[in-house]
Each structure stands twice: as structure tokens, then as C-alpha cells.
Amino acid sequence: MLINSTLVTRRKFQLKHIAMFVCLLFTTTILLVSCNLEEDPPFLDVSLYNKSQEAEAARDGIYAALTHYNAQEQRLFVENGFSGLMVTRRGGNKLTSVWMNNVMKLNPDENVDNQNTWIGLYRLISRSNVVINNSVTDVSSTNTDQFRINDVAGHAYFMRGWAYFSLTRLWGDIPVWLTVANESDIHRAKTSSKEVYQQIIADAKQAIALLNGSAGIGFPKNHAARMMLAKVYMLLATNPSLQADGKSEMDYWNMAYQEAKSVYDSGEYSLVSDYASLFDGSNENSTESIFELQLAQDACNSQMARNYTPWRYKSGQAFGWFGVSADVYDHHVAHYPSDPRLDATYISDYTQRCGGCNDEGNPHRTYPTNTSRGSFGNAHPYLFKFAEKDRTHTNQCNSQNLIVYRYSDLILMLSEISNELQNGEALGYVTEVLARANQKPHVGYLSDQASFRDAIMDEYRFELLGEGLDSYNNRRRGYAYFLENTINRHNNNPNFKASVDVLLNDVESEVMHLDIPLLEIYNNELINN
């Protein structure tokens, strides 16, 4: 599918500036400190959206909340940190960092990134609730305005479901708001994860029914909502305590298959030929993208590149706060030593750029190029996917879009689901992903069901490392699986070195969910009920 780049650029410009306008409407009037469910009274004066322009401006406000630093970048910090796969270089203190070190050890405590992620996701829910509560939908109408209003409401349901999905996977039982908060409704007890998942399912189904694609390029379609719903069903399939309505594990696998296969059969998506192009800004809104956040330097709605760009890799700010654990890299290479995804995912060897400093032009080598692992600074490869590829750029803002859901993930989901259903389709799906990497299915895919299961769970990591899904994929098959395939694999790595590697916590009650932020506990009188 060819996309007119001029139209895409124009659309992104419009999105950013509409979003900034909406942010003025959503100013900082805070009705709740708890959960940051804040809205601006003048905005709420609109009892109903009677024109599509009103609704679409509010929709853009929702996505402006998602591209906010808290809901996007700090969320990724937390998700990557809590995956068991990363190490932090944050704050200059390396392993002694007070910011993320405990999260990286799977020993979560009070943390500003955790707190701000919580706030950012509830801000997203708040704005979605405003749209849902002010939209009257009618899917049978042929009126153009109504058609567009239906789509706007679909976006709100999708984003609310997506936000609650992110929250409950990270924190477990959480407060749930489905209406616009007011001053008399600032305290809310936690809702059980089981109930939260039922609400997510309901929101996803509403989104599927309402999203009609009228928003155009840069906005998700109902395929994104179906993909989210499939992910929910997959999680429920392997967590009996969260299952409802008398449905069995196989029921959920079958429902997951139906949703994922619907997206696959739509024919709207395909793998791009060059894996690296997904992460260098040259292939935005590609045929592989199912849900992609629109970012731009001129809007300065993301500083993620500087946070992930290796230290002294480029001119200007480059913090390189995230490294990848050595065992993760080793495991990838052991399976696919010639995998082109390696160069797109990790970087370990480059010449330094620092604007005329004494180290300008000197080599910088980290693991595996530097095999000594003598100090923290050279003991782990950097995560290269989100690094800024323009080494001359000095501005702290970046333009690379962030893909939330992509087609290769969907294919791997179908492979995993098919393996559980034993429908004969599993190998065919994973072969599609491996073919792009010039690889063939290894022996794990050719043995038995259990071996295939382990292989596909690893494949998610090889294909999607650092993209915000690792912490969820690593846990959704339960503590025992997480312990064996992430925690123990890391701690028992023959190359483990205590001076440069974090020792991952293995206490079940501590490693499966984050602690509720203290800000919420202090301001929500019912949070512990």
C-alpha cells in the first residue's frame, strides 16, 4: 500500500496542533489528585457533541494524553524496567540509581516513573470518559456527521480499554471510573482484576462496533481493538482465577483466535521487507502498523529518542538510560546468529560524538564487543530501536513514531494460539515472521507442543524486545513460567557478573505486580478497601 507522504505529513501537523489546542481546553483543573481524573469545566459545558468537529477535537485530546510524557515515555520506562530483561543507566549512578534500579531488579517500590505512569494512564481514561459521556452513537444512521461521531466514540472506548488493560496488568486490582469524575467522586475502592478484564472486554467490543476508519491515516481502526481483545482472551486463557461466565481455557483460546484471525484475514496488513525501517523513521504508518502513535519534532511531544540513544552516540543530548541484559542478547544469538534483527535491536560498537569533547571520534564498545564486562558502562548492549538515528541532530525532541501494535505481533499471536488449539496452523504463521529475518524454524518449533510454546514465547522477545509488551508476555503464563524463563535464566546465566548485573528478585508476591503509588494511597481514602 502506497501512502502519499505529503498528506501524511500534513495530517500529522494537523494532529499535533489540534491536540495542542485541545490541551488548552483540558487545562490543569484537577478534580482528583487520586488517579488524576481531571477535566476542565468549560470543556464539560458541552452536554453532547452535536457536530463531528466538536467530537473530533475531543478525540485528538485523548491521543494528546497518550503521547504525553507520562502515558508514553514513562510507561515504556516502567514496562521495560519491569520486564526482567533490561538494566538502567539512568541518573548517572548506574546500578545505584534511585529511580529505576529496584524496578529493574523486580523489587518495585515507590518510584516517580511508576507514579507518573499511573497518573498518565488515568488521565487517558478521564478524557476517554468525557468523550463517551458526551457522545450519542447510532451505527444505523447514514448521516455523515453521525458516522464520524460514532468513530470518535469508538476511539474513546478503545483507549479507555487499552488504558485499563495497561493498568491492571501492571498493578492488578485498581480503581475503575466509567463516568466523568467530579468533586464528590474523588475516592474509589479497587476493583478486582477479574472485573476489570470484563470491563476491558466490554470496551473493546464497543470500540469494534463503532470504529469505522473515518479518522484516516494515523488513527487506529477497529482492527486494533480486535487485536487488544485477542490479547485479553489470551491472558485469560492461562489465568483461571480471572476467567468468567463459565468459560474454559479452550474457550478463551478459541475467542482469541477468532479476533486475531479477523484482523489477519482483513488483508489490510503485511510485513515490511526491512525490519530496521520500522525504527528509523523511514517507514511510518506502514502496512505493518496496526496502532501507531504520531510524534513530531515540531510538536516536541516526545523526548524518547534522547532517553534511549546511546551515550555519546550523537550530537546533543543522548542519555542511553536503557541497556539490555547480556543473557537476553546471548539467548537471541544462540537461536539466530545471523539474524538481521540483532543490528536493529541492539548496538554495542560505535564512534563517539559529543560536540568537540576529548572523546570525540573515540570508539565505544559495550557487550558483546567488549567481552571483559569490566565495568557497568561496557557490560550491556544498548537498546537501539528507539535511539535517534540522525547523529547530527541536537534538539532533544524526536520525530520517530512509536508503534504500539504491529502485524508481526499479530502473526506470532496466531502462531501461539494455533499451537494451543492444535489446529495445524502454528508453524505456518511463525514461518512468516522468520522468513523476513532470513531464518527458518529451529528445532523447538519442530518438536512437541510444549517446546513450540517455549519457542514462540522466546520469539516474541526476539521480534518485539523493548516495545512495551515484554513485561506482560513474561508474566501472562503465570509466576512459575516467568520464574523459569526470565528470572532464573537471567540469574543463572553463566556470564552473570555480580558487579555489573542486577540479581532479579524471585518472590512471587513482589514480582508479578507493581505497588500502588503512594500518591494514590495518600489521596484516595478507599484505595485499601
Q: Could you report the per-residue pLDDT of 392-439, keeping only the tens digit for each?
A: 877 777 778 899 999 999 999 999 999 999 999 999 999 999 999 999
User: How much of the chain, in percent, has pLDDT values that exceed 90?
Assistant: 62
- Are the CB atoms for 313 and 391 separated by under 8 Å? yes
- What is residue 427's predicted lDDT score, i.e. its pLDDT? 98
Confidence of residue 149 (pLDDT cuts 50, 70, 90): very high
Cell of 253: 483460546
- Are the CB atoms for 68 and 123 separated by under 8 Å? yes
In terms of Cβ atoms closer than 10 Å to its own Cβ (0-12, 13-18, 19+), residue 422 is: exposed
Residue with cell 501492571: 170
**Among the listed ranges 208-222, 291-305, 458-472, 488-502, which one has the minimum average pLDDT value?**
291-305
Measured CA to CA, the distance from residue 185 to residue 31 in angstroms comes to 9
Cα–Cα distances in angstroms (integers) from residue 431 to residues 58, 277, 459, in the given order: 42, 20, 11
**Mean of the pLDDT values across residues 500-504?**
91
- What is residue 91's predicted lDDT score, i.e. its pLDDT? 43
Beta bridge partners of 351: 363
pLDDT over threshold 90, residue 372: no
- What is residue 314's predicted lDDT score, i.e. its pLDDT? 84
**Mean of the pLDDT values across residues 162-168?**
98
| 380 secondary structure, DSSP code | S
- What is residue 259's predicted lDDT score, i.e. its pLDDT? 98
**Cα of 6 vs its chain's centroid, Å:** 28
**Among the listed ranges 8-17, 44-53, 81-90, which one has the minimum average pLDDT value?**
8-17
Query: Which of 51 and 61 is assigned the larger pLDDT?
Result: 61
pLDDT over threshold 60, residue 54: yes
Query: Which of 525 and 296 is assigned the larger pLDDT?
Result: 525
- Per mean pLDDT, which of 8-17, 70-79, 247-256 is the most reliable? 247-256
- What is residue 158's predicted lDDT score, i.e. its pLDDT? 98
- What is residue 420's predicted lDDT score, i.e. its pLDDT? 98
- What is residue 298's predicted lDDT score, i.e. its pLDDT? 59
Confidence of residue 40 (pLDDT cuts 50, 70, 90): very low
Show the CA angle centred on residue 401, arms to residues 400 and 405, nearest 5°: 140
The pTM assigned to this predicted structure is: 0.90
pLDDT over threshold 50, residue 96: no
Confidence of residue 98 (pLDDT cuts 50, 70, 90): low
User: How much of the chain, in percent, has pLDDT values that exceed 70?
Assistant: 87
Alpha-helical runs (H) found in 266-365: 304-308, 326-335, 341-345
- Are the CB atoms for 168 and 203 separated by under 8 Å? no
pLDDT over threshold 70, residue 60: yes
Residue with cell 475467542: 255
- What is residue 483's predicted lDDT score, i.e. its pLDDT? 98
In which element (H, E) is residue 404 found? strand 402-406
Query: Which of 97 and 60 is assigned the larger pLDDT?
Result: 60
- What is residue 475's predicted lDDT score, i.e. its pLDDT? 97
Beta strands in 1-101, from DSSP E residues, in sequence order: 86-88
Residue 456: name the closest of 485, 487, 484 by CA: 485
Cα–Cα distances in angstroms (integers) from residue 247 to residues 343, 371, 413, 421, in the given order: 43, 51, 20, 15
Residue 160: name the closest of 195, 118, 204 by CA: 204
Confidence of residue 47 (pLDDT cuts 50, 70, 90): low
CB neighbours of 251 closer than 8 A, spacing ≥ 6? none
In which element (H, E) is residue 115 found? helix 112-133
Confidence of residue 308 (pLDDT cuts 50, 70, 90): confident
Measured CA to CA, the distance from residue 449 to residue 453 in angstroms comes to 6
pLDDT over threshold 60, residue 55: yes
Measured CA to CA, the distance from residue 104 to residue 380 in angstroms comes to 14
pLDDT over threshold 50, residue 155: yes
- What is residue 235's predicted lDDT score, i.e. its pLDDT? 98
CB neighbours of 50 closer than 8 A, spacing ≥ 6? none
- What is residue 35's predicted lDDT score, i.e. its pLDDT? 44
- Are the CB atoms for 344 and 354 separated by under 8 Å? no
**Mean of the pLDDT values across residues 302-325?**
82
Measured CA to CA, the distance from residue 337 to residue 376 in angstroms comes to 25
Measured CA to CA, the distance from residue 111 to residue 404 in angstroms comes to 24
**Mean of the pLDDT values across residues 95-118?**
78
**Among the listed ranges 98-112, 219-233, 270-284, 333-347, which one has the minimum average pLDDT value?**
98-112
Confidence of residue 272 (pLDDT cuts 50, 70, 90): very high
